[in-house]
């Protein structure tokens, strides 16, 4: 419920029931490490007992001091992002949905109203309290008067419908092993991997893949050095054929391994292109889920 992200350090997901506890955990981790690394500098009198260290003791002391400073910087940034999310009353997943909602409507349509933004103070009180007990049941939420409980869900369903409508079918012409850095597919593919932990999908010639996303890279076209072009190295899709129809095979694969299938109905709108050139523009998507 109200999932924000999965944290490997606590081996749990951060959401409705533990968001407050997780935020206090980050706060006290930063305060504790800051105190441990700066107390002697600001509060030392010079008359403290002298501790004689060996070489290895000094090395370990410097190592631990470096870890403390690193925690202050790294966990401090994570604490900042968590506090910002609390004040906006938006999880990381809802940030992605809202970004797409604003982009989908454009500047001429009626803007999308985020239903859970009740003001900074009310948003803060909904998560942070001294008992760390969550407010509400995690399913029914207080929303703005212009919205209702399913405003974000309806928006997400419309986004998914648009994604399916823009889906393109590709036929695999080169096999792909599913490696994260396929050296045999070219230097550009290895140097521009998708920045995500989503899997790669192994493919064989003849496979059909329904593509919904692509990894874009801004570069310069050699034929037109003064114009910026989009060079696509990776595609994301779901394999629609195979021996096991019930199992879903989704992931990233190199663009050079497949060519777009152009149907007769879409030939007038999408004229044939060179298989070695990028295909028609596809939306950049992310996995998104509603609040509950």
Residue 116 has pLDDT above 60, yes or no: yes
With contact defined as beta carbons under 8 Å apart, do 162 and 200 qualify? no
Residue 202 is classified by DSSP as -
What would the mean pLDDT of 162-170 be, rounded to a whole number? 85
* 218 bridge partner residues: 230
Least confident range from 10-19, 54-63, 122-131: namely: 54-63
Instruction: Please tell me which residue, 278 or 114, carries the higher pLDDT value.
Output: 114
Q: What is the pLDDT of residue 274?
A: 41
Cα pseudo-dihedral 153, 159, 162, 164, rounded to 10: -80
- What is the pLDDT confidence band of residue 225, given thresholds at 50, 70 and 90? very low
Q: Is 7 a catalytic residue?
A: yes
What would the mean pLDDT of 273-288 be, rounded to a whole number? 42
pLDDT digits (tens, 9 = 90+) for 61-77: 888 888 888 889 999 99
The CATH number of the domain covering residues in 167-260: 2.30.30.40
The model's pTM: 0.64
pLDDT digits (tens, 9 = 90+) for 122-140: 999 999 998 888 888 888 9
Q: What is the pLDDT of residue 153?
A: 92
Which residue from 201, 204, 180, 195 is spatially nearest to 250, judged by alpha carbons? 201
Which of the residues 7, 13, 132, 147 is marked catalytic? 7
Q: Domain locations in the chain?
A: 1-45+54-165, 167-260
With contact defined as beta carbons under 8 Å apart, do 235 and 252 qualify? yes
């Amino acid at each position: 419920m109200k999932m924000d992200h999965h944290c490997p350090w606590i081996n749990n997901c951060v959401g409705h029931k533990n968001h407050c506890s997780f935020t206090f955990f980050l706060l006290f981790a930063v305060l504790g490490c800051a105190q441990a690394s700066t107390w002697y500098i600001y509060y030392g009198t010079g008359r403290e007992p002298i501790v004689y260290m060996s070489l290895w003791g000094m090395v370990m002391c410097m190592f631990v001091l470096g870890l403390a400073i690193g925690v202050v910087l790294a966990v401090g940034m994570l604490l900042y992002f968590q506090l910002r999310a609390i004040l906006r009353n938006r999880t990381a997943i809802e940030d992605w949905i809202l970004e797409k909602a604003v982009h989908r409507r454009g500047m001429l349509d009626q803007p999308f109203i985020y239903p859970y933004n009740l003001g900074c103070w009310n948003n803060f009180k909904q998560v942070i309290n001294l008992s760390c007990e969550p407010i509400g049941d995690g399913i029914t939420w207080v929303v703005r008067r212009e919205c209702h409980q399913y405003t974000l869900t309806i928006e997400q369903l419309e986004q998914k419908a648009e994604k399916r409508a823009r889906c393109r079918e590709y036929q695999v012409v080169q096999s792909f092993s599913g490696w994260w850095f396929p050296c045999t597919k070219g230097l550009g593919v290895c140097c521009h991997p998708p920045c995500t932990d989503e899997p790669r999908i192994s493919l064989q010639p003849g496979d059909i893949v329904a593509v919904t996303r692509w990894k874009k890279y801004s570069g310069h076209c050699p034929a037109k050095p003064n114009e910026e072009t989009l060079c696509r190295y990776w595609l994301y899709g779901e394999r629609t054929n195979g021996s096991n129809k019930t199992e879903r095979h989704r992931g990233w694969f190199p663009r050079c391994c497949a060519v777009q299938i152009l149907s007769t109905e879409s030939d007038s709108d999408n004229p044939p292109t060179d298989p070695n050139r990028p295909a028609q523009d596809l939306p950049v998507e992310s996995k998104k889920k509603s609040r509950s």
